[in-house]
Amino acid sequence: MDGKIENIQDAGLSAQFVMDGLDIMVENPKCELQFRTPFELLVAVVLSAQCTDKRVNQVTSELFKTHSTPEAFVNISQEELEEKIHSCGFFHNKAKAIKSASRDIIERFDGKVPSNFDDLTTLAGVGRKTANVVMAEAFGGDNFAVDTHVLRVSNRLGLAHFQDPNKVEQQLCSIFPKETWSKLHYQMVLFGRYCCKAMKPECERCVFNCSCPSSRI
């Protein structure tokens, strides 16, 4: 153990301690993706897999000028869509997912993005993370989306000990009060993006550096 605390909860640190720390580190948590409708958000979240929000916003600022409805994405050819979203990476699968989800939304949900989690996850290309983000951001739900940043931060802080995002989601939901889930999601995303970075975490300026089991100082 090297005198290190293995688990932030074992150390007697409460969920409140983590929430207070994140309130200091990330004062104004918010979604950095730009969108005007639940459907645009859905498209943006699909595009954001393995891609930065900045890049997605660059792409969607042009894309949404001409394509912002499920009908528009059903009617655009796979090739043309791939070309438009090329710089987001994984463009073939992302274009396929967006077109399939658009078709599903038209055929099964009357052209509207469903506002409940279970229906959202029946859409092609929409997994738990995407559904959780859409529920929280577009419909004001209490949801804890686990992306790569939330996964990393949770494990580094000792809040979770899994690499499976579904298990981490379960764990986080069991630790924190429901009404805090959406806010904590964004705080962990931004904290992971700008401080507890994958390659070089900035532990020297982190409020958790005295108790974090992964601290490098």
Residues at the interface with ligand SF4 (CB under 6 A):
156-157, 195-196, 201-203, 206, 208-209, 212, 214-215
Nearest approach in angstroms of CB 210 to ligand SF4 is 8
Q: Which is nearer to ligand SF4, 14 or 75 (CB)?
A: 14
Q: Which is nearer to ligand SF4, 67 or 185 (CB)?
A: 185
Q: Which is nearer to ligand SF4, 30 or 197 (CB)?
A: 197
- Residue 129 annotated to the active site: yes
Residues 51-72 as b/e (b if ≥16 CB within 10 A, e otherwise) read bebeebbebbeebbeebbbbee
The C-alpha atoms of residue 119 and residue 142 are separated, in whole angstroms, by 16
Q: Which is nearer to ligand SF4, 34 or 215 (CB)?
A: 215
Nearest approach in angstroms of CB 93 to ligand SF4 is 31
- Residue 118 annotated to the active site: no
Q: How many residues does the chain have?
A: 217
Tokens matching residue 40: 């645009």
Nearest approach in angstroms of CB 206 to ligand SF4 is 3
Nearest approach in angstroms of CB 211 to ligand SF4 is 8
The dihedral sign for the CA sequence 193, 198, 202, 208: positive
Tokens matching residue 19: 């929430």
Residues 94, 99, 104, 147: which is the catalytic one? 147
Residues 118-137 as b/e (b if ≥16 CB within 10 A, e otherwise) read ebbeebebbbbbbbbbbbbb
Residues 84, 99, 129, 183: which is the catalytic one? 129
Question: Catalytic amino acids?
Answer: 129, 147
